[in-house]
């Protein structure tokens, strides 16, 4: 019974999130050359490093430093990244 519930939950999640994720992937691919996903290093349990895929919102030639350390990160951001940044700032206040 649990297996049936788990499979149904996965199917519902795939239907809900699959199309929006496909649309974001197409936007990223159509707006600039390079890969759709960026593999970010994250720190997990026990300070173990693991890689997490993220949609790429910055250009491929961006320096490998944290965005907040750049003097002006906007030239490196893609259109979809700038849109996402503006949406976050307006939601924060």
> For the residues 60-78, what does the mean pLDDT come to?
60
Question: Is the Cβ–Cβ distance between 67 and 86 less than 8 Å?
Answer: no
Chain centroid to CA 37: 7
User: Taking the model in full, what pTM does it have?
Assistant: 0.57
Tell me which residue of 57, 51, 17, 20 sits closest to 35, measured CA to CA.
Answer: 57
Q: Round to whole Å and give the CA distance between 50 and 10.
A: 24
* More confident position, 10 or 58: 10
Q: Round to whole Å and give the CA distance between 81 and 85.
A: 6
And the tokens for 27? 């936007």
Which structural domain range is residue 12 located in? 2-92
Question: Is the Cβ–Cβ distance between 80 and 31 less than 8 Å?
Answer: yes
* More confident position, 79 or 56: 56
Q: How many domains does the chain have?
A: 1
């Amino acid at each position: 019974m649990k297996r049936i519930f788990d499979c149904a939950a996965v199917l519902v999640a795939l239907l809900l999130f699959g199309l929006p994720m496909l649309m974001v992937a197409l936007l990223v691919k159509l707006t600039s050359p390079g890969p759709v996903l960026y593999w970010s290093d994250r720190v997990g349990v026990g300070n173990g490093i693991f890689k997490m895929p993220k949609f790429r919102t910055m250009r491929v030639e961006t320096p490998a430093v944290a965005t907040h350390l750049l003097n002006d990160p906007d030239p490196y951001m893609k259109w979809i990244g700038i849109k996402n940044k503006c949406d976050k700032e307006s939601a924060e206040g």
